[in-house]
Amino acid sequence: MTEPFKHRKATKHDSRRVNLRNTLDLVSIQGSTSRAEISRLTGLTRAAVSSLVSELIEEGLVRELGQGTSAGGKPPTMVALNERGRDIIALDLGRRPFQGSLVDLSGHIRHRVEAATPDLRAEAALEATIDLIADLMARSEAPVLGIGVGTPGVVNEAGVVVEAANLGWHQLDLGTAIRNAFSLPASIANDAQLAALAEVRRHAGAGDNVIVVKLGRGVGAGVVVGARLHRGEHSAAGEIGHVQVVTGGEACTCGNFGCLETVASVPAIMRSVGADPDHVPWDAIALAAVAGEVELRAALRAAGRYIGAVLAHAVALLDITRIVIAPEIRNGGDELVDEIRAELATRVLPATAGLIEVELSPLGSDLVLAGAATAVLTDRLGVLLR
Q: In the complex with Zn ion, which residue's Cβ is closer, 260 or 372?
A: 260
Closest separation in Å from C-beta 236 to Zn ion: 13
> From edge to edge, which strands make up the β-sheet containing 154-155?
154-155, 160-164, 169-173
Return the number of the residue (140 or 256) whose C-beta is nearest Zn ion.
256
Least Å distance between CB 240 and Zn ion?
Answer: 10
C-beta of 188 vs 259, nearer to Zn ion: 259
Whether the Cβ atoms of residue 382 and residue 24 lie closer than 8 Å to each other: yes
The distance of closest approach from Cβ of residue 258 to Zn ion in the complex, given in angstroms and rounded to an integer, is 8
Q: In sequence order, what are the residues at sequence separation of 6 or more whose Cβ sits closer than 8 angstroms to the Cβ of residue 237?
A: 193, 222, 223, 230, 231
Q: How far apart are CA 194 and CA 206, in angstroms?
A: 18
Give the integer Cα–Cα distance in Å for 216 and 167. 12
CB of 107 to Zn ion, least distance (A): 34
Instruction: Check if the beta carbon of residue 214 is closer than 8 Å to that of residue 234.
Output: no
Q: Which is nearer to Zn ion, 225 or 254 (CB)?
A: 254
Q: In this complex, which beta carbon is closest to Zn ion, that of residue 79 or of residue 219?
A: 219
User: Would residue 346 be called left, alpha or beta, if left means φ above 0 and alpha means ψ between -120 and 50 degrees?
Assistant: alpha
Q: How far is the CB of 261 from Zn ion (least distance, A)?
A: 6
- Nearest distance from C-beta of residue 237 to Zn ion, angstroms: 16
What are the start-end ranges of the E strands in 83-242? 87-92, 99-103, 109-114, 144-151, 154-155, 160-164, 169-173, 186-190, 210-215, 219-225, 228-229
Positions in the binding site for Zn ion (CB under 5 A): 242, 252, 254, 256, 259
Nearer to Zn ion, 115 or 252 (CB): 252
